[in-house]
């Protein structure tokens, strides 16, 4: 049951981030609003979030390996899968950005 709750919470967070990103890139608002983060800020925050998720996963795995109380194997596995999924998603975003850059560079002027 805990896995389902964790997965649903992760999916809700991802959907909220997607909705937030889509709201910031609406075509009717070409001028960046004051206080709205730039693309590089959003990308940096995403990389930091992935790093944070990987650190939490590593810390939980180490605590479980050391036999510390209160650390359950299911928590360790869920954290590991969260880190894996977030890293894979970040890799796909990077690949799309590189592909878009290459496509733009190959356009005739």
Distance CA(47)–CA(65), nearest Å, equals 27
Q: Is residue 10 part of a domain?
A: no
Write down the H helix ranges in 25-72.
39-66
Q: Is residue 34 part of a domain?
A: no
State the pTM of this model.
0.62
Summarize pLDDT for 12-36 with one digit per residue, the tens: 777 777 777 667 655 554 555 667 7
Q: Is residue 87 part of a domain?
A: yes
Distance CA(70)–CA(88), nearest Å, equals 29
**92 lies in which domain range?**
39-109
Summarize pLDDT for 67-102 with one digit per residue, the tens: 988 889 999 999 999 999 999 999 999 999 999 999
Residue 60 burial (10 A CB sphere; 0-12, 13-18, 19+)? buried
Summarize pLDDT for 59-75 with one digit per residue, the tens: 999 999 999 888 899 99
């Amino acid at each position: 049951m805990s896995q389902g709750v964790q997965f649903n919470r992760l999916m809700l967070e991802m959907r909220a981030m997607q909705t937030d990103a889509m709201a910031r890139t609406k075509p009717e608002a070409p001028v960046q609003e004051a206080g709205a983060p730039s693309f590089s800020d959003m990308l940096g925050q995403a990389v930091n979030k992935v790093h944070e998720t990987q650190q939490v996963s590593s810390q939980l795995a180490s605590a479980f390996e050391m036999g510390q109380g209160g650390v359950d194997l299911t928590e360790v596995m869920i954290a590991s899968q969260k880190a894996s999924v977030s890293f894979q998603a970040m890799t796909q975003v990077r690949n799309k950005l590189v592909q878009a850059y290459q496509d733009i560079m190959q356009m005739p002027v």
